[in-house]
Amino acid sequence: MRKILYIIFLVHVITFTSYSQQWRYGGGAKRTNVEINYENPQEFYIGGITVSGVQFLDPEAIIALTGLKVGDKITIPGDEISNAIKKLWEQGLIGDVEVVVKKIEVKNIYLEFVIKERPRLTKFIFEGATKSEREDLEDKIDLARGRIVNEALIKNTKNKIVEYYLEKGYLYAAIDITQIKDTILDNNIILSVNIDKKEKVRINKVYLSGNTSFESAFLQKKMKKTKGKSALNLWTGTKMINKTYTADKAALVEFYNSRGYRDMRIVEDSISRHKDYDVDVYIQIEEGNKYYFRNITWKGNYIYSTQQLREILGIKKGDVYNNDQLQQKLSFNPAGPDISSLYLDNGYLFFSIDPVEILIEGDSIDIEMRIYEGEQAIVNHIEVEGNTKTHDHVILREVRTYPGDKFSRADLIRTQRELAALNYFDNESLGMNPVPNPATGKVDIGYSVTEKPNDQVELSGGWGGYYGFVGTVGLVFNNFSLRNIKHPKTWSPLPSGDGQRLAFRIQANGRTYQTYSISFTEPWLGGKKPTSLSVSLQHSVQSQLISNGYGKSIKSGSLQVSGITVGVGKRLKWPDDFFTLNHTFSLLRYTLHNYQSSSSTAVIGYTTGYSNNFSYNLTLSRNSIDNFQFPSSGANIAMSMTFTPPYSYFNKLDYQDPDMLPSQRYKWLEYQKYGLDISWFTTVWQHRQKSKHKIVFNARFHGGVIAAYQPGVGVGPFERYIMGGDGLSGYNFLLGSDIIGLRGYANNSIKPTPSGGVAFDKFVAEIRYPISNSPSFSIFVLTFFEAGNTWADIHDVNPFNVYRSAGVGARIFMPAFGLIGIDWGVPFDEVPGYPNPNHKAHVTFTIGQQIR
């Protein structure tokens, strides 16, 4: 580059000389008394500067870039002109520059910069890339029309393309960029990018050397993506991708560090071609010494004793030195308490701890924990930003960091969980920003949210021939606002933002079956306490049709169910505020009109009449799961009790009378019902701390029993347990039965009597793995094993006499449709009436987050 600049400078000097000689010797111009002798430099004052030859650039900007201005003293020849030329070249805007002396008046010199601009980009063309690759490259390179084309642009473009294909495993991709002159636009060019990807490079074998403490085969398992050919991938090996290779080398160092080898390092690594597009990877390791913790001392702690801190740290003299473990115990321990949480949960926001290695002797390390406790911080001000739909008070009522309270990191984490539980915001972008002020000892806390769609729609339909239209329409508005109904200008498209829930659902199977329901929930009744109120109405009709002899059907009988349910729930403070207590009152009326089905006669006992079901349900639950779309820790426990009034104690009916009519026996239903549901989640594997790639184990138990108040009364045909299939309500929903899913078996196939059972249990074990955690589309896959059964009499209950199944499935969450599941299950046991279970695997579909 220096040679080029030197040549250009000589050209300029020659040009400068010729113009000066022309001026000096006349050439038709007026002579001057000032002579320019290039062997004897002379000083001039710049009398004027002009720029010519520019098309897109601003002449004034060019003059400013030279660093010269009118009135400056310059030496001819001298460094000022050459420096000005260099400054213009450094900008990368010009292709050539020439400095011309226009005239000289005594001591004033007039200069002209003759510029030739660099060409501009008209467009770029990719050859040899797929459509998706072209789209990715366009985003990555960001070559906008009109950009100046220079060597740096071409080099950067080439490097980014090479980097892109390296990430995809094309180690030997060849990139050639050609400049084509644009025949339409002057001084414009077209960049033609020719890409020869060649084949993807795969790893033939990984060679490790220098390792004496661990076998090479064992160490290679720590490198998740950098693997050679094996029995599992005999022909292909793994792709050689620089990004994953770098991460695997870091994982190798991390593993050694966790085993006490704090000085371990990778001395050298290289990649060599093995054959065609296979490569061998060579990694040379220097393990260093293995170290152990020796003396751990504490300095600066006054709030908590040394013994308390030692117990939380949990590291003893002689333990293998593990810096990652040490940092987790100090700052963030996902498996239990840590030193920082001890202080931060008690308001010591300004707390800091610095572990210092004060002595390394042999294989032992002494550490001094230097603590600064500071003052307790008080929450001063709370702010919320990013909510464009949800009103501030809906968010602030879930916040656990109140102004005037001591700062607590645990309260921050709990607030984040509660905001995620609303399901109004993107969980991945929930932000918490404490802004401490050490001078005042106070802290402002800002919460940032990003709204996401959370209303849901359920649409399905078809034509059922004899039955006519078959379909379902359901709408759920999860962030409704009842008070804004009177303000149409705030609707978008319905009144929203107050956290209320409004749901409608209509389901029809032609003229045979229709059901209608509407429900409304206010989670904060009165707006001051977390007391919820819910009201729902429902009406269902099951009709019987017979032919009239003229090719049409007429209604001959029906079973109707109409009801209202009112529930009140309250968040408890004891034993902790994960508990909620719900009271639900329900009134259902079953009306039969000439309902001549065999099931009604055998199960209900009458064809015309009605039954009433007035019940009270009490449910105590505790929900501590961390994420409601893909839980990875915590538990959900619910204990429920349902009672009807004990009519048999005061209605003076003789239930022992064999002539007592079923319509009279079941006029007012009488029963007591108990249920227990437990769901527990734990992460069994995680790729990196705070990584989304994790394997989660979910264990569930569900059980229930229904009983009479008096032995002679017995349990009626209503409110029974029916098991099998997807767990979605069907015909038996009309009788109030609990439909319990059991994957691998046909719907409603497991029931000891036509009306169902009075007791059941169910065990589930699942392994889950997330494929995508996007707020607009999340999906996880699972494998399951489950078992369950129902019994006709409580004395027949045997928890181990169950029907078993296993299989795989997936869950997909989309804001507009909620949670949708599909499972493929294989039954292990034969159900009466359903022979050959091992040859009849079932596919089941589920909608919603059903606990059972």
Q: Give the per-residue pLDDT at 1.
A: 42
Quick one: average pLDDT of 458-468?
58
Confidence of residue 527 (pLDDT cuts 50, 70, 90): confident
The 10s digit of each residue's pLDDT in 272-319 is 988 888 889 999 999 999 999 999 999 999 999 999 999 999 999 999
Which has the closest alpha carbon to 89: 34, 9, 24, 197?
9
Burial of 77 (0-12, 13-18, 19+ CB in 10 A): buried
Which has the closest alpha carbon to 733: 561, 591, 569, 583?
561
Q: Give the per-residue pLDDT at 549.
A: 66
Distance CA 406, CA 436 (A): 12
Task: Give one word for 848, left, alpha or beta, with left for phi > 0 and alpha for psi -120 to 50.
Answer: left
Does the pLDDT at position 786 exceed 70? Answer: yes
Q: What's the CA angle centered on 16, arms 12 and 20, to 5 degrees? A: 170
Domain boundaries, the chain: 2-117, 120-196, 202-286, 293-372, 378-448
Percent above pLDDT 90 for the chain: 40
Most confident region among 4-13, 20-29, 648-657, 790-799 by mean pLDDT = 790-799
Task: Tell me the two tokens of residue 421.
Answer: 């539980």
Amino acid (one-letter) located at 735: L
378-448 maps to CATH 3.10.20.90: no
Distance CA 265, CA 231 (A): 30
Amino acid (one-letter) located at 549: G
The 10s digit of each residue's pLDDT in 738-770 is 889 999 998 888 989 888 899 999 999 999 999
Distance CA 239, CA 236 (A): 8
Confidence of residue 470 (pLDDT cuts 50, 70, 90): low
Q: Give the per-residue pLDDT at 12.
A: 46
Residue 54's alpha-carbon distances to 67, 112, 236, in angstroms, are: 18, 12, 57
**Residue 409 or 629, more confident:** 409
Does the pLDDT at position 27 exceed 60? Answer: no
Worst-scoring range by mean pLDDT, 6-10, 37-41, 91-95, 669-673?
6-10
Q: Give the per-residue pLDDT at 605.
A: 77
The dihedral through the CA atoms of 640, 516, 736, 801 has a sign that is: negative
Give me the torsion for CA of 147, 148, 151, 154, rounded to 10°: 20
Percent above pLDDT 70 for the chain: 88
Distance CA 178, CA 194 (A): 8
Q: Give the per-residue pLDDT at 691.
A: 61
Count the residues in the chain.
852
Does the pLDDT at position 350 exceed 80? Answer: yes
Task: Tell me the two tokens of residue 600.
Answer: 């009604």
Distance CA 581, CA 662 (A): 36
CATH topology of domain 293-372: Ubiquitin-like (UB roll) (3.10.20)
Task: Tell me the two tokens of residue 366.
Answer: 């002494």
Give strand ranges (E) for 233-351: 265-275, 278-286, 292-299
Task: Tell me the two tokens of residue 410.
Answer: 């645990």
Q: Give the per-residue pLDDT at 13.
A: 42
Task: Tell me the two tokens of residue 133.
Answer: 């690759």
Task: Tell me the two tokens of residue 846.
Answer: 């589920």
Which has the closest alpha carbon to 475: 506, 498, 515?
506
Does the pLDDT at position 23 exceed 70? Answer: no
Burial of 659 (0-12, 13-18, 19+ CB in 10 A): exposed
Distance CA 92, CA 813 (A): 51
Most confident region among 41-55, 235-249, 366-380, 442-456 by mean pLDDT = 366-380
Distance CA 143, CA 157 (A): 8
Find out whether 294 and 325 touch, Cβ atoms under 8 Å: no
First-to-last alpha carbon distance for the chain, in angstroms, is: 75
Flag whether the pTM goes above 0.85.
no
Does the pLDDT at position 710 exceed 50? Answer: yes
Q: Give the per-residue pLDDT at 442.
A: 93
DSSP 654-710: -TT-TT--HHHHTSB---EEEEEEEEEEEEEEESSTT-S-EEEEEEEEEEEEEE-SS
Q: Give the per-residue pLDDT at 107.
A: 85
**Residue 4 or 668, more confident:** 668
Residue 50's alpha-carbon distances to 47, 97, 571, in angstroms, are: 10, 13, 79
Q: Give the per-residue pLDDT at 622.
A: 96
Q: Give the per-residue pLDDT at 365.
A: 95
Helix (H, G, I), strand (E, B) or coil at 131: helix
Q: Give the per-residue pLDDT at 39.
A: 67
Distance CA 721, CA 759 (A): 7
Spell out the alpha helix ranges (H) of 190-305. Answer: 216-220, 242-258
Worst-scoring range by mean pLDDT, 449-453, 642-646, 800-804?
449-453
The dihedral through the CA atoms of 829, 833, 838, 841 has a sign that is: negative
Distance CA 690, CA 173 (A): 35
Task: Tell me the two tokens of residue 33.
Answer: 């008394």
Unique residue bearing structure tokens 């589920």: 846
Burial 563-598 (b: 16+ CB within 10 A, else e): bebebebeeeeeeeebbbebebebebebbbbebebe
CATH number for the domain formed by residue range(s) 202-286? 3.10.20.310
Distance CA 8, CA 53 (A): 18
Q: Give the per-residue pLDDT at 15.
A: 41
CATH number for the domain formed by residue range(s) 2-117? 3.10.20.310
Q: Does 2-117 match 293-372 in CATH topology?
A: yes
Confidence of residue 136 (pLDDT cuts 50, 70, 90): confident
Q: Give the per-residue pLDDT at 733.
A: 53
Find out whether 728 and 846 touch, Cβ atoms under 8 Å: yes
Find out whether 494 and 470 touch, Cβ atoms under 8 Å: no
Ramachandran angles phi, psi of 199, nearest 5°: -100, 155
> Sheet containing 108-117: which strands, arranged edge to edge?
73-76, 42-52, 108-117, 94-105
Q: Give the per-residue pLDDT at 844.
A: 85
Does the pLDDT at position 468 exceed 90? Answer: no
Mean of per-residue pLDDT scores for the chain: 84
**Residue 535 or 508, more confident:** 535
Task: Tell me the two tokens of residue 482.
Answer: 């009842």
Q: What's the CA angle centered on 497, arms 476 and 460, to 5 degrees? A: 15
Distance CA 142, CA 157 (A): 9
Task: Tell me the two tokens of residue 54.
Answer: 């520019």
Q: Give the per-residue pLDDT at 385.
A: 93
Q: Could you tell me how far CA 735 lies from the centroid of its own chain?
A: 41
Residue 381's alpha-carbon distances to 384, 400, 403, 404, 434, in angstroms, are: 10, 13, 6, 9, 10
Distance CA 443, CA 376 (A): 10
Distance CA 439, CA 446 (A): 19
Q: Give the per-residue pLDDT at 9.
A: 43
The 10s digit of each residue's pLDDT in 539-562 is 999 888 777 666 677 778 888 999
Quick one: average pLDDT of 776-784?
88
Find out whether 148 and 92 touch, Cβ atoms under 8 Å: yes
**Residue 717 or 785, more confident:** 785
Q: Give the per-residue pLDDT at 187.
A: 78
Burial 230-244 (b: 16+ CB within 10 A, else e): eeeeeeebbbbbeeb
Does the pLDDT at position 403 exceed 60? Answer: yes
Which has the closest alpha carbon to 15: 95, 88, 81?
81
Q: Could you count the other beta carbons within 10 Å of the beta carbon of residue 361? A: 8
The 10s digit of each residue's pLDDT in 812-827 is 887 666 778 899 999 9
Distance CA 71, CA 89 (A): 24
120-196 maps to CATH 3.90.1150.10: no
Task: Give one word for 374, left, alpha or beta, with left for phi > 0 and alpha for psi -120 to 50.
Answer: left
Tell me if the bond preceding 575 is cis, omega within 30° of 0. yes
Find out whether 452 and 443 touch, Cβ atoms under 8 Å: no
Find out whether 605 and 717 touch, Cβ atoms under 8 Å: yes
